[in-house]
Amino acid sequence: MIKKIDKNNVAQIYEIEKENFKDSEQYKNIEFLLDNKNYLIVGNFIKDKLISYIIGIDLNEEYELLKIATREEYKNKKFATNLFNHIAKQYKKIFLEVNKNNSIAIKFYKSLGFSKIGERKNYYGNNEDAINLVFEHH
């Protein structure tokens, strides 16, 4: 079941963060994002267990996708794809930045229909560039 995430789910987001990102969000940062009305955070649940989530900024007709992640044991089972499709129905355009070296994420985003619109040199520091991607309804 897909639904909006609330503060009762912070611990579960934090667990998934630690599994997926070496620079995972701090617990208090997740709470801050949930308090901020500009962020739309949605999760895919099985009963009360959070399986995957998407974090982004609601910009009226556009959405800036900041993170999408899935519990390790549920990867490659379309949970993230279903979450993205849920968000995509609500916005005309979705955009994001992804590390140029993150080939798994780039492949995933391209499978969803994202296309490259630019690059940001040294976006992550240490000579790591970002690729700008956009998804638009046609």
Q: How many CB atoms lie within 10 A of CB 10?
A: 19
52 vs 83: CA distance, rounded Å: 8
Closest CA to 81 of 138, 135, 27: 135
| pLDDT at res. 125 | 86
Query: Tens digits of per-residue pLDDT, 46-77?
Result: 999 999 999 999 999 999 999 999 999 999 99
| pLDDT at res. 109 | 97
Residue ranges in the chain modelled with pLDDT below 50: none
| pLDDT at res. 82 | 96
37 vs 122: CA distance, rounded Å: 30
pTM of the model: 0.90
